[in-house]
Amino acid sequence: MRVLFIFLCSLLSTVVVAQTALRPEVKLQAPGLPPPPKMIEKVDEDLEPQITIIQQTDLTIEEYRLGGKLYMIKITPKIGKPYYMVDELGDGKFSRQEGLDSGLRPPRWIIHKF
């Protein structure tokens, strides 16, 4: 009995999918529900960071600006590891960081082992 029920359900869903593929004007949507929201086509330029890359002989400097305000500088020397200068408070004073890792670690306690 279960096998017959599963077979009929799969057959019915196949018919519905096939009809929707043949007729694109048919939309599967429950009655009484609002239509899905439309995708935003235009992205706000002020929310995107602007990156300026300055190439020098011994290092590369990348300046990150948001809304015209410089908030981070990535310095990549030719030899060595890159480091960052970050304006954490927004007051124009930059502090050096070796990476963008804040060092914040959530607790990872083991409550029960199986």
61 is a domain residue? yes
Which letter does DSSP use for residue 99 in this model? S
Which structural domain range is residue 90 located in? Answer: 45-97
Question: In tens digits, what is the pLDDT along the chain, a chain of 114 residues?
Answer: 777 777 766 766 666 555 555 555 555 556 676 777 777 666 666 678 889 999 999 999 999 998 888 999 999 999 989 999 988 888 888 988 887 777 777 887 888 887
What's the confidence (pLDDT) of residue 38? 74
27 is a domain residue? no
Tokens (6 digits) for 94: 């930059």
User: Whole-angstrom Cα distance, residue 26 to residue 50?
Assistant: 43
Domain count, the chain: 1
37 is a domain residue? no
What's the confidence (pLDDT) of residue 17? 59
70 is a domain residue? yes
What's the confidence (pLDDT) of residue 40? 64
State the pairing for strand pair 50-55/95-97.
unpaired
What's the confidence (pLDDT) of residue 110? 81
